[in-house]
Chains A and B, each alone.
Chain A
Amino acid sequence: MNWSHVRLILGREVRDQLRDRRTLFMIAVLPLLLYPLLGMSMFQIGQFVREQPTRVLLLGAEALPAEPKLVEDRSFAVALFAEPDQQRLVELHLADSEPGPTGKAWTLDDARRAVETGHFEAVVHVPSDFSRLLGDFQRQLKTGAETKAGGADTRQAEPQVPSPEILFNTAKEKSQLAFMRVSQLLERWREQIGRQNLIDSRLSPEVARPFAVSECDVAGQQQRESAVWSKVMPFLLLIWALTGAFYPAVDLCAGEKERGTLETLLSSPAQRIDIVGGKLLTVMLFSFSTAVLNILSMGLTGSIVMRQFPELGAPPPLAPLWLLVALVPVSALFGALCLALAALARSSKEGQYYLMPLVLVTLPLVVLPMAPGVELNLGNSLVPVTGIMLLLRTLLEGEYLRALQYVGPVACVTLACCLAAVRWAVDQFNSESVLFRESERFDMGLWFKHLLRDREDTPSASEAVVCGLLILLVRFFMSFALPQPGSFGDLIVLTLVTQLVVIGTPVMLMTIMLTRSPRATLLLRLPRWDVVPMAALLAVLMHPSAQLLSRFVQFLYPVNREVREALDGLMAGSAGHFWEMLLAMAIAPAVFEELAFRGFILSGFRRLGHQRQAIALSAFFFGISHALFQQSIVACLLGLVLGLVAVRSGSLLPCLTFHLIHNTLSLLAAQPGAFSWLGELVEAGEDGPTFGWPVIIVSGLLSALILVWFRRLPYPKTREEALEAARELADSKAEGGGRKAEDAAQAERDEQGDSDERRLTRAY
């Protein structure tokens, strides 16, 4: 990367954006106006909602006891309200003083319909014998108490009082509010009756409440105040960082295409990575500024508005510092994502359409930390975006020690995501089909014809993505369509059917329909003689490390107890059926998953020209195709190993061998007394054997050596990979040696030109 080019591009883009009125409005004017307006409207709406009175009908007022009073002056008794001025919030209508809808007296059915139609928000129905039976019960209590005082032994009076009923409608929010208000009133009224009963029974009213529960909030004033801010501020920060990144990104990419300036920039000495770097820094800067201005404006408005809510208090004093620190990686991540997406758009208008999917994907990660009970722990800190939000929240709450523990994992995950997003953005700028995409009328028939007619030896990267998504979709719908396995036998059959239908069928169909050479696509070649034994050895040596990793993942993200019990229940019948298990859980996955993920999908991604990226993408799809999240993480990492083996050996056979042996060893590990021949090196446990550290370290080191051996194997590059390698070599020469390299290249040019010409002409 040439930093002077990056600085130049950054300077130009920033100046360009600052001269654009729309951008200025979005980043500077909108935040300053938004919060005061929002505060004002919230204030008005809040008042409006609070002032709404509830219409309640009372049916059977004549059956109410004289004391204590539920109704007083055609309204609920003022003593029943927590605050006397709340009385006006319940508008009471007495059924006996108003004619019913039919013109006659109200019936219970009329009342029910009135609630259904919303004429009343709630109806209180007092049974006709309520007062009489309550009176009877109270008299029994009095008599009992007098008799007891006379020394005679009496039995306790049993209450036979019918229940008053509240009719309400949960489908209507106003009715729910009415129910809440009325039920509180009736509760207090019942307490009054109860207290009276205790007095009548010659007992102190305190009998029912022998003690009070006192509350003691240990949170300090500052902690209480920061609790709300620490949830709201990270959320707003992320949302504005995303919005602030998106609009400049669209203008910087799609706008440049629209104005026809992209071609000129691409033909300048600035390399694609310089262009992306400059643009990314611009987008980051605007994302950063938008978020900062929003937080400032919110703080300013908040400090004025919040004076009316003293319990909320001011935000924590160090909040601005933490927010600024967190904004750097957040704006980098969103900036790179927005840039890559915006590069797809042909026009600014098209670019706007891409905002919604990005928000929809990001929103769950932003909302997750807001859920009650979600706290910063190792598992959550490894989730992109969520981790950084939780870390920020912990810092705002002032728990610095706790935050410090998770800075490492959050930083690693965020950095990895940023790098992946930047890589994607650079790839977009290297892709002709993205940069020079022309609008074409879409015709489904023509498109199908084009797919079949223009197929190549191996699938394209987009076909690989479609295959991966198809597997996920079919799996999702199959999980609902198929019956839940009831026994071990069902599980075996269902696993086999799922492998065949979900993975095998789509892959085979897509290979036959969309490629010219199923052999090249699915790597159906015989490898070098020593590759298969090495892959088998690798699988065996990696087993202890893989098992350790699997346990660690389950420690970080414990499997839901219900899921674990269901799995254990299904596996309970597995004793004595090892061969069936081997078929369903080792042989079938080894065949079908390898054909899919190391065959079709990896071949498709290799067309992008970057081998490591292809391996990572195929491993990602392999990971997410597993049902349990915990399995996905382990599978994703094993997918990287399998991808490397596939690319370097050029054959599916070693991958199949590795996969088969890996799964078989996992099945064997679940058998009682497994690996007991290893003696003290293995410890039997509830979840199978645990390997000792010497085994894990030695086998891990040996696995690493074998992986290095695989990496050093000579392997056939795809045409795209060969071109990228040649380009990287030329670029590194140009960057490393400067003028010297140019001279060297000049001296070599005729020879190289001729050889390239021959090679590419042959390739075509």
Chain B
Amino acid sequence: MIRVRHLTKEYADLHRGRFVALDGISFDAAAGQVFGLLGPNGAGKTTALRILSTVLVPTAGSAIVAGYDVLTQPSLVRRQIGFMSANTGIYDRMTAWEMVEYFGRLHDIEREPLRARMEALFERLKMNDIRDLLGAKMSTGMKQKVSIARALVHDPPVLVFDEATAGLDVLVARALLQTVAELREQGKCIIFSTHIMREAEKLCDHVAIMHRGRILSAGTLDELDARHGHRDLEETFFELVSGHEHDEAPTTQGGER
């Protein structure tokens, strides 16, 4: 469902020069699978997910999402994905219903099927009481629910969740993880970035541990445990990240290119 090869992204940064945010990462994610991108802040998770959702363009490498190339077929890719960002992206002056309807209509769903689908979604996510609430008056949990509804309204085969549980209280975070698990059961391909190991352990079938734009290790949880000799993902993560902590930050200075 998702195939990423040698994906690279460079930025020009005043302090670090040409800074490599993604350094040739490759991975695959299949339908009915939750793929976790784990890494500390600044590892390159958000950049990778932004490229998959065609918001950013890679400097090199390729990514195929649901059969379409992010580089040359971005508009087709966008029809196949539901994207949810860490900052929820909720319009202050729109109600929950209007917001979900707006994105449903942007996906060219006709009014009546859309209404039926939204009724079902609002019921499933228990959002009927915030239906007419303006974005500015919503709590973080409510915003997150609207954000999920917006990502699911067109029933995409691929879901991209970028730090979706950041800033949520335990109850809301748990409900969100429950939703993700249900989506997996429905055969969706979910790519999920987080830096909370417990979430990844509960949810992910495959994980890739990222640090400074590179994938340090990837595989199923069992494969990772076996490879690194730990029973705990957090231990594996800590060992990998601290082992590379003193590596040079990847930059393309001088004649390295």
Contact = CB atoms under 8 A, between A and B. Distances in A.
Given A756-B62, A760-B61, A453 B3 contact: no
Contact of B55 (A263, A756, A757): A263
Contacts of B193: none
A446 B71 CA distance: 33
A446 B254 CA distance: 16
A270 B103 CA distance: 10
A261 B87 CA distance: 8
B56 A269 contact: no
Main secondary structure of the interface of A (DSSP, over half): helix
A752 B69 contact: yes
Contacts of A562: none
B71 A726 contact: yes
A260 B88 contact: yes
Given A264-B89, A453-B253, A745-B76, A4 B108 contact: yes
Interface stretch (B34-42, B91-99, B165-173, B202-210): B91-99
Max chain A C-beta neighbours (<10 A), residue from B6, B8, B60 = B60
A757 B61 contact: yes
A745 B54 contact: no
B113 to A, nearest CB: 15
B53 to A, nearest CB: 4
B71 A756 contact: yes
B178 interface: no
A749 interface: yes
Interface stretch (A98-106, A499-507, A580-588, A729-737): A729-737
A82 to B, nearest CB: 62
8 contacts: A12-B94, A19-B93, A260-B88, A260-B89, A264-B103, A267-B53, A447-B14, A746-B68
Given A260-B88, A267-B53, A742-B76, 13 more contacts: A259-B91, A265-B89, A266-B54, A267-B55, A268-B107, A271-B75, A454-B18, A729-B72, A745-B67, A745-B73, A753-B3, A761-B60, A764-B60
A294 B103 CA distance: 35
Contacts of A734: 73, 75-76
Contact of B89 (A263, A443, A447, A749): A263
A709 interface: no
Contacts of B103: 264, 268
A454 B17 contact: yes
A760 B62 contact: yes
A74 interface: no
B72 A726 contact: yes
Interface stretch (B78-86, B115-123, B180-188): B78-86
A19 B15 CA distance: 41
Nearest to B55: A266
B226 interface: no
A263 B85 contact: yes
Interface size class of A (residues with CB under 8 A): 35 or more
B71 A267 contact: no
Given A723-B71, A749-B64, A756-B62, A454 B94 contact: no
Given A269-B78, A447-B14, A8 B105 contact: yes
A271 B103 CA distance: 13
A432 B3 contact: no
Interface size class of B (residues with CB under 8 A): 35 or more
Contacts of A269: 75, 78-79, 106-108
Contacts of B45: none
Contacts of A482: none
Nearest to B58: A760
B89 A268 contact: no
Contacts of B59: 764
B238 interface: no
A436 B56 contact: yes
Interface of B: 3, 5-6, 8, 12-15, 17-18, 50, 53-62, 64, 67-69, 71-76, 78-79, 81, 83, 85, 87-94, 98, 102-103, 105-108, 147, 150, 160, 253-254
A760 B7 CA distance: 10
A20 interface: yes
A401 interface: no
A761 B6 contact: yes
Contacts, number: 145
A5 B104 CA distance: 11
A262 B88 CA distance: 11
Max chain B C-beta neighbours (<10 A), residue from A19, A264, A757 = A264
6 A-B pairs with least C-beta separation: A764-B60, A260-B87, A264-B89, A757-B62, A267-B83, A267-B53
A734 B8 CA distance: 26
Nearest to A757: B62
A723 B72 CA distance: 8
A246 to B, nearest CB: 19
A763 interface: yes
Contacts of A15: 93-94, 98
A727 B79 CA distance: 16
A764 B7 CA distance: 11
A440 interface: yes
Contact of A727 (B72, B88, B92): B72
B3 to A, nearest CB: 7
A734 B68 CA distance: 11
Nearest to B26: A757
A276 B173 CA distance: 35
A8 B61 CA distance: 34
A261 to B, nearest CB: 4
Contacts of B160: 267
Contact of A763 (B57, B60, B93): B60
Contacts of A19: 93
Max chain A C-beta neighbours (<10 A), residue from B58, B76, B92 = B76
Interface string A684-726: 0000000000000000000000000000000000000001001
Nearest to B85: A263
Interface in A736-759: 742, 745-746, 749, 752-753, 756-757
Nearest to B6: A761
A267 B70 CA distance: 11
Given A454-B17, A730-B72, A752-B69, A16 B56 contact: no
Given A268-B78, A446-B14, A756 B93 contact: no
Interface in A224-256: none
B50 A263 contact: yes
A450 interface: yes
Interface string A82-108: 000000000000000000000000000
A697 to B, nearest CB: 44
Nearest to B56: A432
A749 B106 contact: no
Contacts of A746: 67-68
B69 A756 contact: yes
Interface in A4-29: 4-5, 8, 12, 15-16, 19-20
A764 B76 contact: no
A15 B105 CA distance: 16
A275 to B, nearest CB: 10
A16 B107 contact: no
B59 to A, nearest CB: 6
Contacts of B17: 450, 453-454
A446 B12 CA distance: 12
Nearest to A436: B56
Max chain A C-beta neighbours (<10 A), residue from B6, B64, B69, B87 = B69
A450 B253 contact: no
Contact of A264 (B58, B73, B83): B83
Contacts of A260: 85, 87-89
